[in-house]
Amino acid sequence: MADIIQLLPDHVANQIAAGEVVQRPASVAKELLENSIDAGAKTIKLIVKDAGKTLIQVIDNGKGMTATDARLSFERHATSKIRSAQDLFSLNTKGFRGEALASIAAIAHVELKTKQEQDELGTLIEIEGSEIKNQEVTVTPTGTSLCVKHLFFNIPARRNFLKSNNVELRHIVDEFHRVALAHPDIEFLMYHNGSESFNLPKSNYRQRVVHIFGHKTNEKLVPVEEATEVLKISGFVGKPEFAKRTRTEQFFFVNNRFIKSPYLNHSINSAFEGLMKDGSHPTYFLNLTVDPKSIDINIHPTKTEIKFDDEHTLYAILRSAVKHSLGQFNIAPVLDFDRDRNLDTPYNFENKRVSTPTVEVDRSFNPFQAEKIEIRSNRLSSSYKKEPTSQWESLYVGLESKGTKTENDFSEVQFESQPEAPSLFDDDKQLETKQTTYQLHNKYIISTIKSGMMILDQHRAHQRVLYEGFLKHLTVKEAVSQQLLFPLRLEFSSTEMEILQNLKEDLEHTGFVFSVFKDIIIEITGVPINVPESEVSIILEQLISDVEQEVPDSNFSATDLLAKSMSKSLAIKTGQSISRLEQEHLVNSLFACKEPTVSPTNKVTFITMSVDDFDKKFI
Ligand code: ADP
Ligand code: MG
């Protein structure tokens, strides 16, 4: 038989990629603005007509392109920003995929004018649906002007999908705000249908916020500053009395990139707990700086979601920093300084690493002597995690009937395991059961198996378990709810309500019970079993943001999205320590799943290493 596989022609591949990158005019505005920032522009102008449906143009005074680069910039995966896969881990630029211009040019009429400082003349290129219509030398100022007309001219379905001008313009303004807030040192201007909408001179961060949101904002901002080993925070939160009914003034930037994170949002809400009226949302403009190596942004082409290595710690630091600021500025009348000791961990980070834990065997110590056990357990729950770990492991020696060779090897390598000592001593029987799971860096669960060992990513594995559970409830349509003592009242914007309305039935099938679902109010009287009430708002927010990010196509399944989204919100986070029992339960539940090997988003959930693999390494 003849071979039947063919490579897609470039313009088709570009159109497919465009579906991912360009959802609406606002996505074009965002990509162009970010390119101008990457080009080192000091002034950036955004010109829009008919909410971007007729025209989106960005003019910058950045470094421009040579004629060859100008031509190349429209090729897919053409980028000047990374050279190898390695560079992905130390990204300092906004773009890196080299997909935006190729995608935009595949579905619109594009005119590029660009010139570099040292050149007399610049380059003009016109492209329509990936086809070069014209390239010539032209007179143009230093920098780049990119003009995008007739978006989706060759994909009528997508064009029809666009919302009213008001809605589309709102999206463009949102993107403009996000980019402008992340870069107060750059001058930004925006025009819509010929009139100036924003004129933001170069300024400091506070001034930038005030220029965008009005001079009244100034008095309500409380500075937040915090620098720890793993995270730097700077920016502002709004005083509680100015909290809004909508979430329009909530901004997180991670390494100057706007992100949405219902989880981190929750951490701020919890810092404001007790200070705000129900149904209102705190204002915040916060810049987080983390080691680029500790985040993964290559997760979605629109790049508003980031995966952190250690979300749990970020949550804790953020919450305590905001609380601290509110307290310092006398906004929180009584502060609870009796905080969770886990919060201190990041501040000890450095010390922790420097001092290698020493193994001291207290020979006079008798673990079965009541008083002493208490002293021990207290010490164990202190913030020095590693030291006691090795201590109790050394206690173990001799008490436990000698395990297999492999098992002993494990404790010698000192896999970090749970400081769950109290339960160890409480329950004599546990001393006899062999430990078969260990938690490593609050991220991986190591489990011994016959052939060697297995390493699970706790967050992904748990997502898989929850996902299959939700899918089952959603298809069988008979989920179990738990009744809330008091109805939970939540308020959303009308766009958000529209999204939730579409998912209402599915939500009910997972176990949600709504008593009110009207205008902008939702009242919940029942939630799915095992869903804590405090997580409900995170789940719904995450769901809304997932739907917003979803590219509508024929494969779109609301049910699947709901199950994915909920499992993501509820899964054990990276950075969270879990007890041995929970570890074992997770391992067992994962292998009871239909597809244990991958997470709902198709990421590997576990790997195995056999004793043979180790033997090879020990040559
Ligand atoms: P990416 O930004 O991911 O590299 P793009 O498709 O957005 O991919 O852009 C492709 C390349 O075109 C960029 O890497 C950059 O070299 C060049 N480019 C795009 N816009 C500009 C601009 N405004 N000024 C200078 N160079 C630009
Ligand atoms: Mg780009």
Quick one: pLDDT at residue 419?
Answer: 41
- The whole-angstrom separation of Cα 145 and Cα 66 is 14
Is residue 36 lining ligand 1, measured as CB closer than 6 Å?
Answer: yes
Residues within 5 Å of ion ligand 2, judged at the Cβ atom:
35, 95, 100
Sequence-distant (≥ 6) Cβ neighbours of residue 314 within 8 angstroms: 230, 231, 264, 267, 288, 290, 308, 575
Quick one: pLDDT at residue 214?
Answer: 86
Q: Which of 30-44, 234-248, 292-306 has the lowest mean pLDDT?
A: 292-306
Q: Work out the percent of the chain whose per-residue pLDDT is above 90.
A: 41
Average pLDDT, stretch 230-248?
A: 86
CA of 469: how far to CAs of 80, 465, 557, 563, 605, in Å? 45, 6, 17, 8, 17
Atom of ligand 1 nearest to the CA of 80: 14
Closest to 313 measured CA to CA, from 354, 353, 267, 276: 267
Q: Which of 10-19, 376-385, 467-476 has the lowest mean pLDDT?
A: 376-385
- For the stretch 450-508, pLDDT in tens is 888 999 999 999 999 999 988 888 888 777 888 888 888 888 887 788 889 888 988 99
Nearest CA to ligand 1 atom 17: 73
Centre of ligand 2 from the C-alpha of residue 36, in Å: 8
- For the stretch 583-597, pLDDT in tens is 999 999 999 999 999
Identify the nearest ligand to the CA of 65 by its number.
1
Atom of ligand 1 nearest to the CA of 60: 23
Quick one: pLDDT at residue 471?
Answer: 87
- The whole-angstrom separation of Cα 142 and Cα 358 is 62
Higher pLDDT pick, 92 / 371: 92
Q: Which of 230-244, 317-331, 350-364 has the lowest mean pLDDT?
A: 350-364
Quick one: pLDDT at residue 268?
Answer: 93
Is residue 526 lining ligand 1, measured as CB closer than 6 Å?
Answer: no
Residue 561 has pLDDT above 70, yes or no: yes
Is residue 343 very low, low, confident or very high in pLDDT (cuts 50, 70, 90)?
very low
Identify the nearest ligand to the CA of 146 by its number.
1
To test the pocket of ligand 1, the residue of 27, 46, 56, 73 to mutate (highest count of ligand atoms within 8 Å of its CB) is 73
Phi then psi dihedrals of residue 178, to 5 deg: -60, -45
- The whole-angstrom separation of Cα 283 and Cα 286 is 10
Is residue 79 lining ligand 1, measured as CB closer than 6 Å?
Answer: yes
Mean pLDDT of the chain, nearest integer: 80
Higher pLDDT pick, 1 / 121: 121
Residue 346 has pLDDT above 70, yes or no: no
Centre of ligand 2 from the C-alpha of residue 265, in Å: 27
Average pLDDT, stretch 561-577?
A: 89
Residue 351 has pLDDT above 50, yes or no: no
Is residue 145 lining ligand 1, measured as CB closer than 6 Å?
Answer: no
Residue 93 has pLDDT above 70, yes or no: no
Quick one: pLDDT at residue 108?
Answer: 95
Quick one: pLDDT at residue 162?
Answer: 87
Is residue 81 lining ligand 1, measured as CB closer than 6 Å?
Answer: yes
- The whole-angstrom separation of Cα 349 and Cα 510 is 40
Structure tokens at 53: 């449906």
Residue 68 has pLDDT above 60, yes or no: yes
Higher pLDDT pick, 12 / 504: 504
Centre of ligand 1 from the C-alpha of residue 100, in Å: 8
Residues 394, 577, 273, CA angle at the centre, nearest 5°? 140
Atom of ligand 1 nearest to the CA of 58: 23
Question: What is the full DSSP assignment across 95-120?
Answer: --SS-HHHHHHHSSEEEEEEE-TT-S
Quick one: pLDDT at residue 392?
Answer: 39
Is residue 576 lining ligand 1, measured as CB closer than 6 Å?
Answer: no
Residue 283 has pLDDT above 90, yes or no: yes
Quick one: pLDDT at residue 436?
Answer: 83
Query: Is the Cβ–Cβ distance between 331 and 240 less than 8 Å?
Result: yes
Centre of ligand 1 from the C-alpha of residue 547, in Å: 28
- For the stretch 71-86, pLDDT in tens is 999 987 767 666 555 5
Is residue 560 very low, low, confident or very high in pLDDT (cuts 50, 70, 90)?
confident
Centre of ligand 1 from the C-alpha of residue 567, in Å: 36
Q: List the beta bridge partners of residue 238.
A: 221
Atom of ligand 1 nearest to the CA of 96: 3
Atom of ligand 1 nearest to the CA of 35: 20
Residue 138 has pLDDT above 70, yes or no: yes
Average pLDDT, stretch 258-283?
A: 86
Is residue 78 lining ligand 1, measured as CB closer than 6 Å?
Answer: yes
Is residue 74 lining ligand 1, measured as CB closer than 6 Å?
Answer: no
- For the stretch 16-34, pLDDT in tens is 666 677 889 999 999 999 9
Closest to 600 measured CA to CA, from 456, 439, 504, 471: 471
Atom of ligand 1 nearest to the CA of 62: 24
Is residue 555 very low, low, confident or very high in pLDDT (cuts 50, 70, 90)?
low
Quick one: pLDDT at residue 335?
Answer: 42
Is residue 301 lining ligand 1, measured as CB closer than 6 Å?
Answer: no
- For the stretch 413-433, pLDDT in tens is 333 344 443 444 444 444 446
Higher pLDDT pick, 555 / 612: 612
